Structure 1
Amino acid sequence: MPVGGAMAENATLFVVYNQSKALLQRLYPSPPSANPDVPTSTPIWQTATAAAVAGAAASFVLTPVELVKCKMQVSNIAAEGLAPTASAVASTHAPATTAVPPGVARPAPAPGVVAFTRSILREYGIRGLWLGQTGTLIRETGGGAAWFTTFEVLVSYFVQRRVDRGETSKANPGARVTKGDLSAVELMTAGAAAGITYNVVLFPADCIKSTIQTEDELRGKGEPKGPKRGFLQVGKDIYRARGIKGLYSGCGLTALRAAPSSALIFYIYSRLEATFG
Structure 2
Amino acid sequence: MSADFWAGYVSGAAGILIGNPLDLVKTRLQAGSGASTSDISSAQFSPQAFRGHFDRAGTLVRGATAPIIGYGALNAILFVTYNRTLEFLGDTPTVPNNLFKVWCAGATGGLASFVVSTPTELVKCRAQVSIDNTNSWKIAKDVWKREGIRGLYYGGGITCVRDAVGYGFYFWSYEWCKQTLSSPTDTDGQSAMKVLLCGGLAGVATWASIFPLDVVKTRVQTQLLHPALRVEGERGSLLQPEQGANSSPPRNRLSTFEIAKHAYQSEGSRVFVRGLGICSVRAFVVNAVQWAVYEWMMRLLRQP
Q: Work out whether the TM-score is over 0.5.
A: yes
Match of 1:240 in 2: 265
Match of 1:122 in 2: 145
Match of 2:283 in 1: 258
Give the whole-Å Cα distance in 2 for the aligned partners of 1:60 and 1:206. 17
> Structure 1 residues 17 and 41, CA, compared in 2 at 3 Å: closer, same or farther?
closer
Give the whole-Å Cα distance in 1 for the aligned partners of 2:114 and 2:276. 19
- The one-letter amino acid of 2:168's match is A
SS at 1:214 equivalent: helix
Query: In the alignment, is the contact (CA less than 8 A) between 1:188 and 1:263 conserved in 2?
Result: yes
Of structures 1 and 2, the one with the larger relative CO (CA 8 A, separation 6+) is 2
Is 1:135 the counterpart of 2:181 in the alignment?
A: no
- Out of 63, 69, 73, the residue aligned to residue 4 of structure 1 is 69
Query: In the alignment, is the contact (CA less than 8 A) between 2:203 and 2:284 conserved in 1?
Result: yes
Give the whole-Å Cα distance in 2 for the aligned partners of 1:115 and 1:269. 32
Deviating beyond 4 angstroms after TM superposition, the runs of 4 or more aligned structure 1 residues are 220-224
- The one-letter amino acid of 1:225's match is P
Give the whole-Å Cα distance in 2 for the aligned partners of 1:144 and 1:200. 12
Query: In the alignment, is the contact (CA less than 8 A) between 1:238 and 1:246 conserved in 2?
Result: yes
Match of 1:101 in 2: none
Match of 1:190 in 2: 198
SS at 1:48 equivalent: helix
Q: Deviations over 1:243-270 (max 9, x none)?
A: 2210111111111111111011112222
Query: In the alignment, is the contact (CA less than 8 A) between 2:208 and 2:276 conserved in 1?
Result: yes
- For structure 1, list consecutive stretches of 5 or more residues without a partner in the other structure: 30-38, 80-108, 171-179
More deviation, 260-269/142-151: 260-269
Match of 1:267 in 2: 292
Q: CA deviation at 1:125?
A: 2.2
More deviation, 219-228/194-203: 219-228
Give the whole-Å Cα distance in 2 for the aligned partners of 1:41 and 1:134. 30
Query: In the alignment, is the contact (CA less than 8 A) between 2:242 and 2:250 conserved in 1?
Result: no
- The one-letter amino acid of 1:57's match is A
- The one-letter amino acid of 1:144's match is Y
Q: TM-score, normalised by structure 2?
A: 0.66
Q: TM-score, normalised by structure 1?
A: 0.72
Is 1:145 the counterpart of 2:157 in the alignment?
A: no
Give the whole-Å Cα distance in 1 for the aligned partners of 2:198 and 2:95. 21
Match of 2:21 in 1: none
> Structure 1 residues 6 and 270, CA, compared in 2 at 3 Å: closer, same or farther?
same
Match of 1:19 in 2: 84
Q: Deviations over 1:31-79 (max 9, x none)?
A: xxxxxxxx9842111100000000111122011011112222222x2x2
Match of 1:228 in 2: 253
Give the whole-Å Cα distance in 2 for the aligned partners of 1:69 and 1:265. 19
Query: In the alignment, is the contact (CA less than 8 A) between 1:191 and 1:262 conserved in 2?
Result: yes
Match of 2:104 in 1: 49
Question: Over alpha carbons, which structure has the higher Rg?
Answer: 1
Percent identity, aligned pairs only, is 27
Root-mean-square deviation (Å) = 2.5
Match of 1:212 in 2: 220
Give the whole-Å Cα distance in 1 for the aligned partners of 2:99 and 2:112. 20
- The one-letter amino acid of 2:279's match is T
Q: CA deviation at 1:274?
A: 4.2
SS at 1:25 equivalent: coil
More deviation, 137-146/267-276: 267-276
Query: In the alignment, is the contact (CA less than 8 A) between 2:224 and 2:250 conserved in 1?
Result: yes
> Structure 1 residues 237 and 182, CA, compared in 2 at 3 Å: closer, same or farther?
same
Give the whole-Å Cα distance in 2 for the aligned partners of 1:40 and 1:250. 34
Give the whole-Å Cα distance in 2 for the aligned partners of 1:221 and 1:56. 31
- Out of 201, 209, 214, the residue aligned to residue 201 of structure 1 is 209
Give the whole-Å Cα distance in 2 for the aligned partners of 1:244 and 1:116. 31
- The one-letter amino acid of 2:226's match is L
- The one-letter amino acid of 2:100's match is W
Match of 1:97 in 2: none
Give the whole-Å Cα distance in 2 for the aligned partners of 1:140 and 1:40. 23
Q: CA deviation at 1:201?
A: 0.4
